Amino acid sequence: MKHVKSMLGVAAVLFALGGAAQVAAESPREDAMKEMGKSMKAIKDLISAGGPAADATDPAKKIAEIAAKIPDLFPQGSDTPDDEAKADIWQNWDDFTAKGKSLQDEANLLVSAAGGGDIATVGAQFEKVGGACGACHKAYREKTN
């Protein structure tokens, strides 16, 4: 299986290059997480302003979209010494991805709440979305703020 071996060689080189590039730039998952942070902030400000509830639709959709990609954002072997991802992620993969799915579900319920037009309902569901972020960070992120 000489062919397979040389393919693996290429993959290893690409991986090494990718690893080196990540030291300088933010990793894709950090960017994705920051995007979710921005969406959460936008919804929080909206709730403080008393609505309109429908304006929570787009940021809530964005969170659901990113949540669906969480398993892909944490590929095997992507742990680096200076990131905040705990190695437990890859040892408890089913639980980790379940927490991503739970965020996706709560964010989709937030999209529905926004469509319903009642800002109090949006506020209550926003708390649940925040809880889903926190549940994963508590278990799998080294810094829990």
Residue 49 — φ and ψ, nearest 5°?
-80, -5
Helix axes 28-48, 119-140, angle to 10 degrees: 150
Question: Token pair for residue 6?
Answer: 């040389």
Comparison of 6 and 79: residue with beta carbon closer to ligand HEC: 79
Please report, as residue ranges, which positions from 108 to 137 form the binding site for ligand HEC (by CB under 6 A). Answer: 129, 132-133, 136-137
Tell me if 75 contacts ligand HEC by CB under 6 A.
no
Question: Per-residue x/- mask for ligand HEC, residues 10 to 49, rule CB under 6 A?
Answer: ----------------xx-xx--xx-xx--x---------
**Residue 12 near residue 18, CB atoms below 8 Å:** no
**Residue 64 near residue 36, CB atoms below 8 Å:** no
CB of 43 to ligand HEC, least distance (A): 10
Question: Token pair for residue 124?
Answer: 């209550």
Compute the distance between CA of residue 68 and CA of residue 101 in angstroms, rounded to an integer.
7
CB of 118 to ligand HEC, least distance (A): 21
Q: Residues 6 or more apart from 7 whose CB is under 8 A from it?
A: none
CB of 35 to ligand HEC, least distance (A): 9
Binding stretches for ligand HEC (CB under 6 A): 26-27, 29-30, 33-34, 36-37, 40, 63, 70, 83-85, 96, 99-100, 103, 129, 132-133, 136-137, 140-141
